[in-house]
């Protein structure tokens, strides 16, 4: 094979260029890898403290290597006490760098079953940041990049839309737990379904729920039809026996919830919304036009679809995903 020889000056220039490339490239590539790591930016909007499923949902969100939780916002009722609970859970599990913000307080008739655990966390001297300001500022810094995971009554979302609908529309998507399309509470598929009924997150704030579904932001909806996931005794023993900071915190919250409610088996409604943000295959969706009536029923209509709705999930598949996810996640 014929060889081509370059003049010394050309070879020197090429060598210098190669050195410069090697010197500069690793930092640039490293930065690109960091920015394009595949982690999805999420904000979790939660009414943590009443039912226990919010705590299990937050545990999954911070445990997943596929999510970057840029904030937790609390909604409905005593949002400051909810923020104290979220802050304590984040701190004791090594995620205290995640900011927590409190939304507008509302009247709530629900029981704050985990109040004692929350009250151990001291109130911030200057209070918690405002959840509406926090979320809007985050969207402005990351337009089109943030998934809002909504697992509370939609009071914060209504306030966001009222404050700045243009910025709200720059969310990437909303993944929510809410609604009832064909199945109501207790319809687990073993007996004939009794039909839909008003679901709590929608029913508690119907005006905000309507604003959400009219917002034009892409919605992934996890209704009662696909979220009645029973965390039975065998599963609980598997998780709580691991004695990690996360499982110890969840056990403490579970015991308070059980003592307050008299229930033993949690239903992990809200966790499915976080799971779908990580792996959409866990709850396949279909496009639907969802209307909300005056009772809070989420009724299928004949118009243009405004949500992708999961009507059925595989509980066994879900728990085979969930339990390893919170047990094997590296702690910070």
The length of the chain is 332
Strand intervals (E) in the chain: 40-46, 67-74, 100-102, 146-151, 173-177, 219-222, 286-292, 298-301, 307-309
Domain count of the fold of the chain: 1
pTM of the model: 0.88
Q: Is the dihedral of CA 150, 155, 161, 163 positive or negative?
A: negative
Confirm whether 26 is domain-assigned: no
Confirm whether 140 is domain-assigned: yes
Confirm whether 235 is domain-assigned: yes
Pseudo-torsion of CA 318, 213, 215, 104, nearest 10°?
A: -80
The pLDDT of 218-240, averaged and rounded, is 97
Provide CB contacts within 8 A for 101, sequence distance 6+.
Answer: 71, 72, 73, 74, 83, 128, 129, 130, 131, 133, 134, 135
pLDDT in tens, 92-118: 999 999 999 999 999 999 999 999 999
The pLDDT of 133-162, averaged and rounded, is 98
Confirm whether 20 is domain-assigned: no
Say yes or no to pLDDT of 5 above 60.
Answer: no
Query: Which is nearest to 48 in space by CA: 149, 166, 124?
Result: 149
Give the domain CATH number at 248. Answer: 3.90.245.10
Mean pLDDT computed over every residue of the chain = 90
Asked if 263 contacts 231 with a C-beta cutoff of 8 angstroms, the reply is: no
pLDDT in tens, 279-301: 999 999 999 999 999 999 999 99
Confirm whether 19 is domain-assigned: no
Query: Which is nearest to 223 in space by CA: 193, 250, 253, 251?
Result: 193
Confirm whether 243 is domain-assigned: yes
Confirm whether 182 is domain-assigned: yes
pLDDT in tens, 170-182: 999 999 999 999 9
Confirm whether 97 is domain-assigned: yes
pLDDT in tens, 153-167: 999 999 999 999 999
Partners of residue 71 on adjacent β-strands? 43
Asked if 142 contacts 71 with a C-beta cutoff of 8 angstroms, the reply is: no
Provide CB contacts within 8 A for 92, sequence distance 6+.
Answer: 245, 248, 249
Burial class from Cβ neighbours inside 10 Å (0-12, 13-18, 19+) for residue 182 reads middle
Query: Which is nearest to 170 in space by CA: 196, 135, 194, 203?
Result: 135
* Distance (Å, whole) CA 168 – CA 157: 9
At 37 the pLDDT is: 62
DSSP string, 282-330: GS--EEEEEEE-TT--EEEESSS--EEE-----HHHHHHHHHHHHHHPP
Q: What are phi and psi of 48, to 5 degrees?
A: -55, 135
pLDDT in tens, 27-55: 332 333 333 468 999 999 999 999 999 99
Range of the domain at 97: 40-328
């Amino acid at each position: 094979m014929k060889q081509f020889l370059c003049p010394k000056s050309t070879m020197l220039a090429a060598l210098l260029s190669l050195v410069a490339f090697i010197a500069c490239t690793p930092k640039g590539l490293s930065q690109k890898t960091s920015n394009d790591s595949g982690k999805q930016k999420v904000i979790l909007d939660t009414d943590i403290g009443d039912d226990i499923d919010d705590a299990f949902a937050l545990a999954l969100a911070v445990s997943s290597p596929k999510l970057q939780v840029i904030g937790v916002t609390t909604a409905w009722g005593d949002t400051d006490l909810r923020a104290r609970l979220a802050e304590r859970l984040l701190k004791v599990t090594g995620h205290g760098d995640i900011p927590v913000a409190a939304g507008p307080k509302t009247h709530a008739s629900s029981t704050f079953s985990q109040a004692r655990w929350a009250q151990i966390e001291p109130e911030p001297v200057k209070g918690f940041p405002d959840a509406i300001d926090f979320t809007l500022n985050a969207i402005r810094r990351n337009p089109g990049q943030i998934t809002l995971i909504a697992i509370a009554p939609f009071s914060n979302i209504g306030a966001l839309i009222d404050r700045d609908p243009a910025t709200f529309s720059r969310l990437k998507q909303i993944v929510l737990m809410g609604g009832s399309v064909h199945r109501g509470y207790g319809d687990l598929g073993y007996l004939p379904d009794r039909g839909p009924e008003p679901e709590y997150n929608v029913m508690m704030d119907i005006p905000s729920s309507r604003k959400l579904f009219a917002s034009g932001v892409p919605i992934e909806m996890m209704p009662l039809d696909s979220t009645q996931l029973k965390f039975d005794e065998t599963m609980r023993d598997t998780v709580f026996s691991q004695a990690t900071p996360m499982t110890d915190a969840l056990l403490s919250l579970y015991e308070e919830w059980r003592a307050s409610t008299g229930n033993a088996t949690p239903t992990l409604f809200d966790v499915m919304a976080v799971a779908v943000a990580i792996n959409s295959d866990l709850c396949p969706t279909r496009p639907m036009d969802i209307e909300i009536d005056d009772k809070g029923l989420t009724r299928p209509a004949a118009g243009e679809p405004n949500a992708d709705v999961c009507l059925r999930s595989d509980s066994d598949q879900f728990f085979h995903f969930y339990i390893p996810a919170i047990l094997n996640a590296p702690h910070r």
